[in-house]
Amino acid sequence: MKYQHIKDEAYKANMQLPKLGLVLFTFGNVSAADRELGVFAIKPSGVPYEDLSPEKMVIVDFDGKIVEGDLRPSSDTLTHAVLYKHWEIGGIVHTHSTYGTAWAQSQRDIPNYGTTHADHLTADIPCAPPMSDEMILGDYEYQTGFQIMDCFKDKGISYKEVEMVLVGNHAPFSWGKTADKAVYNSAVLETVAKMAYLTEQINPGAPRLKDSLIKKHFERKHGPNSYYGQ
């Protein structure tokens, strides 16, 4: 029962993905970490969501080694492990949601066009460049974690302020203090990606949101004098 709490957390978070329309078949995964124990629970590879249970979650350490479980963990496990090892986060989501993945395949950051985007972050949602052939032919999933971290370093972005990313020609990842927050961020990313796509269809020359509105909408939710919510 040592890991039951994160097995339950990972299971509940994984089950949110199909409910929110973020996955098709088995195209996605969520993990939940216990940083004190240095492990995380993650969805088993290729298992349909309707067949999941807390007991089927696989426990893995931050080096990607299986600690407990009879099933193979998600094929993206090493990406999760790298991010947990280097960033102070508690949950990670990876999906191939339609609009987020379309932006990733286009190798474009998602521009901040409106207040829905600004309610959650002041920056564009970054798109990491496609991985080099050397990284792809090496330990692909392991290197994907470094591709994400290098993107944030190169762009001067804090992972604590921007809890989501696109990997060029691949798909979105999101994270948070908990698995639930990571799922929330994944849903926000997909919604903002869809809105940005439709904005460019309606007006290809649509202006980006001005700085004063970005600041206002972000700070009313997250600033020192925030007043959104109860």
119, 139, 150, 180: the catalytic one is 119
Q: Residue 125 in contact with residue 164, Cβ under 8 Å?
A: yes
Cα 66 to Cα 9, 35, 75, 105, 143: the distances in Å are 18, 16, 13, 32, 19
Sequence-distant (6+) residues with CB within 8 A of 100 are 166, 171, 172, 189, 190, 193
The neighbour count for residue 34, using CB atoms within 10 Å, is 16
- Indicate the length of the chain as a whole number: 230
Tell me, what DSSP letter sits at residue 88?
-
- Has 119 been annotated as catalytic? yes
Cα 89 to Cα 23, 82, 113, 119, 179: the distances in Å are 22, 11, 28, 21, 9
The neighbour count for residue 131, using CB atoms within 10 Å, is 20
d(CA 168, CA 149): 13
Catalytically active residues, by annotation: 119, 228
